[in-house]
Structure 1
Amino acid sequence: MENPRQLAFIALKAVHRDAYADVALDRVLSQSNLTAIDRRLVTELVYGSVRRMRSLDASIDRLAKKKSHQQPPDLRTILHLGLYQLCYLTQIPSSAAVNTTVELAKTNGLAGLKGFVNGILRQFIREMEGSREQGALRCREQGAEGQRGRGAEGQQLTVNCQLSAIIPLPKDPVERLGILHSYPNWMIELWLEQLGLEETEQLCEWFNRSPAIDLRVNTLQTSIEQVETQLQAAGVSVMRLPHLPQALRLTGNIGAIQNLPGYSAGWWTVQDSSAQLVSHVLDPQAGEVVIDACAAPGGKTTHIAELMQDRGTIWACDRTTSRLNKLKTNAERLQLRSIKICPGDSRSLPQFTNIADRVLLDAPCSGLGTLHRHADARWRQTPASVQELASLQKELLDCTATWVKPGGILVYATCTLHPLENERAVEWFLSSHPQWQIAPPPSDSPAAPFSTAAGWLKIFPHQHQMDGFFMVRLKRREQGVGSRGVGSRGAEEQGSRGEPTTNYQLPITNYQLPISKNDY
């Protein structure tokens, strides 16, 4: 009989040797015959241990004589698994967590250290039990007592209170939040600058929860009412999402997604609600020429086709052929025929110059808005990698802007919360391309409620209960229209469908990345 904790250990070993967490997990699960319950346990152990790596290391530092980074790598991984179960998986009995972790040590060549593993875990249990009174006091002070029994949010706050009673947390808010919620210091500093202390902690907690699964209903094949009815008949709980006419959120355990009603018929596809907003910001119309510059695996491309009633031409560009193949498969399942594939780097496709009514640049980014979906992203991204991505994003903006006809639309979008990749990128583009201006979504757009005074949209997960995203709708001025004259304002401020536009110019800011000396 296969051991789910052993499979989790194998996957985590690969992650600690620089494999991507999702790839390592898929590899072990594809080679196993686990039950659905055990597959969920492996997934939770792998992703949870990776997300909580800094907090787990801090626990080892507190309990052992040697620091976590001085421990043998396999021993550190095994301790992570045991401590994660004891601290965060409260439905698993403590005795089971300890015994199975000791067995892992014996099975994986560390039999001589089984006593050490047993001792560390049992000491952790004693300190957790001893800290409950102190932790309960902290919970009452932070309002967690009133949240008991209110699902994951209340449970997480209670665990955080108890953990903070065990690990001596620094007074410095960056260090405290980084250790307690398990993030590198530079990310905490970045969010504190944008949100302040209270909302930064809310965002930290949100990213440590399991992600929701949202569907986008293909209204060319069915209706949202029919999909909702079929899913409920199959025992799947669903809820509609405000402002998004095609969105359904699945709640509870759903099993294999491809086995749900309507999948093979192309009734729906999986797409987070914030990603669905992007195509509404683009607002494509039937009969237009639209280019998706970084299209694979095709979620937004297929949404564009649906919004265009599958009439017109959509060029799907990407430099990765294997990902474009996934896009093609998705389009075929959804029965969409207006999409054309164009392999290649969007910085080198001159054939598209001045041909597009609308262009979507969903740019490669640091993904800081989707950390809950990519457990290891918080440890892979660095201030240096963000700088590199920001340079790439500028190159892509520069090139894809040339594809848009005069009077056309370019939407720039990222799934990150970093100003250098978002606001600063737009400011740079507008300052160096005076023929462009921000055109906020029209008032009847599903995206309009999320628009800011500056004209762009910035989705914070803890505020909007969806992935973090940034998006801005840019309009190229018509040829011959003055960029400053008062007499030309009427032409400038009304788009082809009567949407208001904004003459938005900001100076480029010398944005300094917050880098702590104690970066984790």
Structure 2
Amino acid sequence: MTSSRQQALIALRDVHQGAYADVALDRVLRKVELPDNDRRLVTELVYGSVRRQRTLDAIIDQLATKKSHQQPLLLRSILHLGLYQLQFQKRIPPSAAVNTTVQLAKDNGFSGLSGFVNGLLRKYVRLGEVEGGESSHISIKLPENPVERLGILHSFPDWIVSLWLEQFGFAQTEQLCEWMNQTPTIDLRVNRLRSSCEEVETALQNQGILCERIPNLPYALRLLSKSGAIKNLPGFNEGWWTVQDSSAQLVSYLLNPQPGEVIIDACAAPGGKTTHIAELMGDEGEIWACDRTASRLRKLQQNTQRLNLKSIQICTGDSRNLAQFQNADRVLLDVPCSGLGTLHRHADARWRQTPQSVGELSILQEELLLHTSTFVKDNGCLVYSTCTLHPAENEGVIKSFLKSSPNWKIEPPATNSPIREYSTDEGWIKVLPHKHNMDGFFMVCLRKKPS
């Protein structure tokens, strides 16, 4: 019962009971000793089955007389694991996918339904052989309606597909959906105060790990091969680098902090942008890292110590209520958001977020922006950023703020800024995953006019 597929099923059971996918997976992997290959398989099966569950349910409905929603959740999870391997994991032989899934049903109280599981999966294999050989996945029957069609084919809720269709049109929405179903890459941000890209590249290559430079980001590297545990990579303990997606690195360049300034990071945890700000300032100045969650600030403290940074001070509290900050040179407000730009990293986020939760978040974002804007001195600036692709949390929040705050204006990035190419006519920055091959982000620099 310690097989990789059994552990994946345990994690999926916990997800269906309300656990976050990454938390459920981490809990499972901590309890059992598995070889690296098996750990990677568990991770792929859990995230893949959660991410693709609408597509997998559609396949079940196509092959079975009893619809997916009528089946016990645990049985449906077993079918998801088997069908995910058949439809999306072509390196796994169909016979192995079928046999291990049938055994999984027997081991988990469904011996009486193991024949049903076996029959459904073998029906899939037969259809695949008819359509294009043993390695071919089957064609899914899709409705004509473009929203439902894309939603079923790429496994997204209809409301997200509708939102993106309205912004990007059909072709780009399909590209975006496909991008969001990829396994996420790992980007490193080299700590310029401790190392260099050349030194980190050489150390990684000496361990057989390939990486590449990222355009417009002079201290960013993307890993191109399997890396194993991050903490075991060369340079981790020495503080040579930290993990941070390339689009998140752009935010601190837009903020453009200078040595000796007072900077406030109003929603700082877990601290990737905070530590980047310190590095850009040469660790000279005063950075206040604020967050209302003390446990998440501990992660920031750990990274600060590992990167050997001295300019960061911790402030625990909700930035909507803090009153001690008034004359900051710059404020970073990286607000809590729906994360629709990072759905590939959070397998279950597409199912957890709703139009209602987005509405609640946009209210929180407006409250945070109104209050943290009071932290900034005249001629100072505030950078507002999100990792979502929802206008209500991005353009909508900024337009509402500027309407009620006439002493603020949008300041486009400088012509020599590394993020100029992501700038829009309105002056804000939009990073689109399917165009720029990095997490989706929105950011804008606001300048406070003298009163």
Q: What TM-score do the two structures reach when normalised by structure 2? A: 0.99
- CA shift, 1:131, in A, is 2.2
2:414 aligned residue: 442
1:327-346 pair list within 5 angstroms: 327-346=300-319
SS at match of 2:315: strand
RMSD of equivalent CA atoms: 1.2
Of 344, 347, 355, the residue aligned with 1:372 is 344
| 1:278 corresponds to | 251
Equivalent residue number for residue 215 of structure 1 = 188
| TM alignment of 1:34-433, pairs within 5 A | 34-132=34-132, 162-163=137-138, 165=139, 167-352=140-325, 354-433=326-405
Question: In the aligned structure 1, how far is the partner of 2:2 from the partner of 2:15?
Answer: 20
Residue in 1 aligned with 2:19? 19
Q: Secondary structure at the match of 1:245?
A: strand
* 1:246 partner SS: strand
Q: d(CA) in 2 for partners of 1:471 and 1:101?
A: 45
Question: Once the two structures are superposed, what CA deviation does each residue of 1:259-298 show, in whole Å capped at 9, x if it has no partner?
Answer: 1110000000000000000000000000000000000000
Residue aligning to 1:469: 441
The amino acid across from 1:256 in the alignment is A
Q: CA deviation at 1:223?
A: 1.1
Q: Take 1:42 and 1:234, find their aligned partners in 2: how far apart are those partners?
A: 24
SS state of the match for residue 18, structure 2?
coil
SS of the counterpart of 2:60? helix
Q: Which runs of 4+ in 1 moved over 6 A?
A: none
* Partner Cα distance (2:53, 2:25) in 1: 16
Unaligned runs of at least 5 residues, structure 1: 136-157, 480-520
- Whole-Å Cα distance in 2 between the matches of residues 73 and 49 of structure 1? 13
Instruction: Give the AA of the match of 1:115.
Output: G
Q: CA deviation at 1:225?
A: 1.1
Cα distance per residue 1:458-504 (max 9 Å; x no partner): 1110100000000000000023xxxxxxxxxxxxxxxxxxxxxxxxx
CA distance in 2, matches of 1:74, 1:214: 35
- One-letter code aligned to 1:418: H
Deviations 1:116-173 (A, max 9, x none): 000000011111222228x9xxxxxxxxxxxxxxxxxxxxxx97xx54x2x2201111
Secondary structure of the residue aligned to 1:351 is coil
Amino acid at match of 2:431: I
Give 1:492's aligned residue. none
> What amino acid is aligned across from residue 74 of structure 1 in structure 2?
L
Please tell me the residue identity of whatever aligns with 1:325: R
Amino acid across the alignment from 1:380: R
Alignment: residue pair count: 451
Letter in 1 for 2:439: D
Please give the alpha-carbon distance, in whole angstroms, between the structure 2 residues aligned to 1:184 and 1:125.
27
| CA distance in structure 1 between the aligned counterparts of 2:437 and 2:194, rounded to whole angstroms | 28
Give deviations 1:97-133, integer Å, cap 9, x for gaps: 0000000011001101110000000011111222228
Q: CA deviation at 1:2?
A: 2.5
In structure 2, give the amino acid aligned to 1:101: T
| Distance across 2 between alignment mates of 1:129 and 1:455 | 53
Give yes or no for the alignment of 1:459 onto 2:431.
yes
- Counterpart residue type for residue 368 of structure 2: L
Partner amino acid for 2:354?
T
User: Per-residue displacement from partner, 1:276-330 (whole Å, max 9, x unpaired)?
Assistant: 0000000000000000000000000000000000000000000000100110000
**Structure 2: which amino acid aligns with 1:476?**
K
Residue aligned with 1:252, SS: coil
Shift of 1:233: 1.3
CA–CA separation in structure 2 for the residues paired with 1:214 and 1:389: 28
Query: Which residue does the alignment assign to 1:484?
Result: none
Q: C-alpha distance in 2, partners of 1:73/1:467? A: 32
- For the pair shown, which has the larger CA radius of gyration, 1 or 2? 1
Gaps of 5+ in 2: none
Counterpart-to-counterpart distance in 2, 1:409 and 1:449: 21
